[in-house]
Structure formats: structure tokens, C-alpha cells
Amino acid sequence: MGMMEEMMDAMMGKLSKEEKLEMMSTMMGKFLAGFTVEDRQKMMERMMPKMMEGVNMMDMMPKMMMGMMGGGEGNAGMMGMMSQMMGDSEAKQGLTMPRMMTRMMPQCLHMMLPGVPKEERSDFVVTMVAALMEQGSIGMSDEEKEGLVSKVLEKVRP
């Protein structure tokens, strides 16, 4: 173990959970300064399995989504941490929460659904498709809605 690791172990052992969380959010920006988007993405890929170990994502997902969608307290919430991780370039490109969700949700479903029991998974799919169709067709004419249903059916039929 190197000197830096020994110092970190000694320091972390003295901090409370609350102090560690506060330190994490205040130091994130400083720590990531100078990292490219690709650097941050690689770091997240390496860290995520360690952070998620023992976490039940099915229980955690609704809480996370609510925090991300508007329940956060400034930069202390999930969106603040994610925006710090992503940096300014995505913000300048207009990577807003709805755009992030359309990118992240399919990937989350690919990872999580295989682990959900068959009956629950089936109920979830019906609920999710209904919500997607209802909310996704807001403001569409009847003709546009029919076109959307046709596209969905083309995609899901074997």
C-alpha cells in the first residue's frame, strides 16, 4: 500500500458518513478538472460496479428518477453530480434531462430487465408501453398516433 492510500485510509476512517458524502460532492468538481468526457466515462465504467455492489436497482430506481427529475437540491442532488461528471460541453449541446432519459432508459432496461422475474417483467412491459404511448403521443393528430402505433408494432412483432 502506497503512502497516498495510507493517508486516505487514515482520513476516511475518521470521517462520518455525512462528512464523506459532503466531501464527495464538494470535491467532485475539483477532482474532475482537466478530465475529458472520455476520461470521465471510462472512470464511471470502472467505478459503477463497485458503487452498485449489493444495491437492489429495482428498489432504488424510482427514488433516483424522482431525484433526477426535479427533487434535487441544486448541485447536491443526482443531477448536480451528473452535470459535474459530464462537464460543460454536454450542457452547451443541450443535453437536458429528457434527452438524457431517452439515451439512458433503453440501456438501463437492457441491463435490468433480464434479472426481473418473468411475471413482473411482463406486467412492467405492458405498463411501460402504455405510458410511452400515452405520453409519447401527446399533441399528435389521430393520423400521427396511428403512424406511431404502426412503427411500434413493426418493431415489436417477430
Residue 135, pLDDT > 80, answer yes
Residues 91 and 135 in one domain: no
Residues 108 and 156 in one domain: yes
Residue 75, pLDDT > 50, answer no
Give me the pLDDT at residue 37, please. 86
Distance, CA of 108 to CA of 151 (rounded, Å): 22
**Is 100 exposed, middle or buried (CB count within 10 Å of its CB: 0-12, 13-18, 19+)?**
middle
Burial string for 108-140 (b: 16+ CB within 10 Å, else e) reads eeeeeeeebeeeeeeeeeeeeeeeeeeeebeee
Give me the pLDDT at residue 137, please. 95
CB atoms within 10 A of CB 69: 13
Residues 86 and 110 in one domain: no
Q: Which range marks the domain in which residue 140 is found? A: 102-158
Residues 110 and 147 in one domain: yes
Residue 25 in domain: no
- The total number of structural domains in the chain stands at 2
Residue 149, pLDDT > 90, answer yes
Residue 107, pLDDT > 90, answer no
* pTM higher than the cut 0.75: no
Residue 44 in domain: yes
